[in-house]
Copies of this chain bind each other. A is one copy, B any other.
Amino acid sequence: MTGYKQAILLREDLDMSKGKMIAQACHASLKAYRKADKQAVKEWEVSGEKKIVLKVDEQSLQEKRMDAEASGLTVSSVKDAGKTELKSGTETALAIGPDKEDSIDSVTGDLALIK
């Protein structure tokens, strides 16, 4: 039996502070959570709400969004409002799921964890 998780893909090619990266990741995570399939959310909640944080750049973020959508996964991206560090509209993060681990891994399996 496969477990459930949420993947949070975060751009590391932008000049974001750690605090900014954390806020963007939380925005994406919550946005995808609200949009995800309710049964998948329930399975994820009872199994400990696993989250993984993966490194992308502008191009791989777009590619992974298309791959995830083609696989029928819930995706939500975050664009920065541009009030502080970034140009308005810059896409900073993409969350996928919560959904089945193996479905998410088939899209994000080649990405590195953010250390």
Contact = CB atoms under 8 A, between A and B. Distances in A.
User: How many chain copies does the complex carry?
Assistant: 2
Contacts of A49: 27, 30
A75 interface: no
Interface stretch (A16-24, A56-64, A66-74, A100-108): A16-24
A81 interface: yes
Given A33-B30, A49-B30, A22 B19 contact: no
B114 A19 contact: yes
A54 to B, nearest CB: 8
Contacts of A115: 17-19
Contacts of A51: 23, 26-27
A56 B51 CA distance: 22
A47 to B, nearest CB: 12
Which are the 4 A-B pairs with shortest beta-carbon distances? Answer: A19-B114, A19-B53, A26-B29, A22-B53
